A and B are shown apart, each in its own frame.
Chain A
Amino acid sequence: MRVYADNAATTYLSKTARDKLIQCLDEFNGNPNSLHSDGQRTQEALDEARAIVAGCINAARPNEIYFTSGGSEADNQALLSAARGLKAKGKKHLITLNIEHHAILHTMRKLEGEGFEVTYLAPQSNGIVDVKDVEDAIRDDTALVSIMFANNEMGAIQPIPEIGAICKARKVLFHTDSVQAAAHLPIDVQAMNIDMLSMSGHKFHGPKGVGILYARNGIKLVNVIEGGAQERGKRAGTVNVPGIAAMAVALKEGCDNMEENMNKVRALRDRLIEGLRDIPYSQLNGDPVKRLPGNVNWSFEGVEGESLLLHLDMYGIECSSGSACTSESLDPSHVLLGMGVPIEAAHGSLRFSLDIDNTEEQIDYIIEKVHQVVELYRGMSPYWEDLLTGKREHCIPEYWNK
């Protein structure tokens, strides 16, 4: 059986998006900046995509939507714009979480190099930031609060409306990286007081290489890419209209079916959680309820995540891990460590990110095989032996949440 359970890494292209992509490649492959009919027809397809995206997040106007090369570019541009734009007004402080995507964290580091001060808030042990911590961190010279909608690794959903209200009251810009949330959770930028928001096409069955930055009118964007008047002069480069049009229909398809999809995927997620909880000395990471519909992130003591992942792959199950061995660095997931998961437990973590095409049969297969591989690798782990004999101490209770 093949089970794709790595939808947080990327999703397959939906039929709707694929059809739109191919239609646009054939019919709207002009340059929207050209004044001739071919260009203008393509411009209309781009306008239509912009209006669709604006509608999906309840943006006040389509011209608040900027198309980018992906979520990372949108994150970079949002942060650089807020910081550099407000520097002249004496603002030099930024607030974010220590569990953000590296597109945020690395840009924050860059801004620190330019003289900005950054507060990296740690979430509570369930992966969710305490709203009061955000409020307390805001200073007179704070330019921006950037807090992700939902975490890519352990799925915790942040209190976005509450943070939006605080930022509005304190007159601080609010950006949210909603790469994992878009098309999966309801987003209303006006009701939630979101000033800027990032999305990525391939996380909701659109194509790769296209993303979206929403920026409320009145926010002055700073260019990341210079060279042309595209996207109201804020993002140079000939516009990838086929990719954008396909992304827009994928987003709409996700939003139109959100309630039904959420219910179905949540049921699969909770089935997987129920099925794994009898494994002793293992735990769910992230809030059990306030989490992305498809995310299950689990730590198993005494074993290492990459070996579990590779062995599950031999059984046809594709997932990911927060272990150091699956990262480019020598440290395990900054997200799990940032929310206080012990380093030993972070090494032994697996992430399953489910989607509408997964089935109950697949979930039961994952449960069966995870039990098998955890037992197999615990059997050959000297660390597990030390835990059993009391030579080393457990860092996870025998039964999670009991």
Chain B
Amino acid sequence: MSLYTDKVMDHFEHPRNVGVIEDADGVGEVGNPVCGDIMKMYLKVEDDKIVDVKFKTFGCGSAIATSSMATELIKGKSLDEALELTNKAVVDALDGLPARKIHCSVLAEDAIKAALVDYYTRSGREMPESLVGFEPRED
């Protein structure tokens, strides 16, 4: 069996939603260069809906694929739906990841959560309970 599934390789070779949103409503960044992964997510929110999402990632093939898949899973979804995104959902959508790459999916989930925290902070709206005291797990 190859290291990565076809879905992972597809998202690595053709990553979706790469880039920056200049007038983003929320930006989140997790990871650091010492660990070898950094993910940065940009959200555009209208009427409680994520109308656009972009990412930039420094990292391995699975870091890029999980970023890409995570953005696909929340694009067009409501804020509440985005809040519920788990790393497991990202892994499942990619048909699995090798055990030692699971941390990439955790990073992707946390990057989205960090962007949502930034959105609620900036907009002055009440922070959802699940985001209160949020700390990225991989730093």
Q: Do A and B bind each other?
A: yes
Task: Establish whether residues A383 and B38, one from each chain, have CB atoms under 8 Å apart when the complex forms.
Answer: yes
Chain A, Cβ-Cβ closest to B18 = A380
CB within 8 Å for A347 and B57 given contacts A314-B13, A328-B100, A382-B39: no
A306 interface contact, C-beta 8 A: yes
Taking CB atoms, residues of chain A closer than 8 Å to B40 are: 382
Task: Establish whether residues B33 and A310, one from each chain, have CB atoms under 8 Å apart when the complex forms.
Answer: no
Task: Establish whether residues A323 and B38, one from each chain, have CB atoms under 8 Å apart when the complex forms.
Answer: no
Interface residues of A in 165-182 (CB under 8 A from B): none
Interface string of A367-402 (1 = CB under 8 A from B): 000000000010011111100000010000000000
The distance from the CB of B139 to the nearest CB of chain A, in whole angstroms, is 14
Interface size class of A (residues with CB under 8 A): 20 to 34
Task: Establish whether residues A382 and B38, one from each chain, have CB atoms under 8 Å apart when the complex forms.
Answer: yes
Taking CB atoms, residues of chain B closer than 8 Å to A304 are: 36-37, 58-60, 63
Interface size class of B (residues with CB under 8 A): 20 to 34
Task: Establish whether residues B56 and A381, one from each chain, have CB atoms under 8 Å apart when the complex forms.
Answer: yes
Centre residue among A310, A314, A323 by max chain B CB count within 10 A:
A310
Complex formed: what's the CA distance from A380 to B60 in Å? 12
B109 interface contact, C-beta 8 A: no
A343 interface contact, C-beta 8 A: yes
Task: Establish whether residues B36 and A332, one from each chain, have CB atoms under 8 Å apart when the complex forms.
Answer: yes
A325 interface contact, C-beta 8 A: yes
Chain B, Cβ-Cβ closest to A306 = B60
Complex formed: what's the CA distance from A56 to B100 in Å? 43
B43 interface contact, C-beta 8 A: no
Taking CB atoms, residues of chain B closer than 8 Å to A382 are: 29, 38-40, 56-58
Interface residues of B in 104-128 (CB under 8 A from A): none
Within the complex, which residue of B19, B29, B60 is in contact with A307, where a contact is CB–CB below 8 Å? B60
Taking CB atoms, residues of chain A closer than 8 Å to B33 are: 343-344, 347, 383, 392
Task: Establish whether residues B56 and A380, one from each chain, have CB atoms under 8 Å apart when the complex forms.
Answer: yes
Interface string of B35-54 (1 = CB under 8 A from A): 11111100000000000000
The distance from the CB of A36 to the nearest CB of chain B, in whole angstroms, is 45
Chain A, Cβ-Cβ closest to B57 = A380
The distance from the CB of A386 to the nearest CB of chain B, in whole angstroms, is 8
Complex formed: what's the CA distance from A302 to B35 in Å? 12
Within the complex, which residue of A325, A377, A385 is in contact with B36, where a contact is CB–CB below 8 Å? A325
Chain B, Cβ-Cβ closest to A347 = B36
Known: A311-B13, A344-B34, A380-B15. 20 other contacts (CB 8 A): A304-B36, A304-B58, A304-B63, A306-B61, A307-B64, A323-B60, A324-B36, A325-B36, A325-B59, A330-B100, A332-B36, A343-B34, A344-B33, A347-B36, A381-B57, A382-B38, A382-B40, A383-B33, A383-B38, A384-B58
User: What would 19 A/B residue contacts be, using CB atoms closer than 8 Å?
Assistant: A302-B58, A304-B58, A306-B60, A324-B35, A324-B36, A325-B59, A325-B101, A326-B60, A328-B100, A330-B35, A330-B100, A344-B34, A381-B56, A381-B57, A382-B29, A382-B39, A382-B57, A383-B38, A384-B58
User: Which 4 A-B pairs give the minimum distances between C-beta atoms?
Assistant: A325-B60, A306-B60, A383-B58, A381-B58
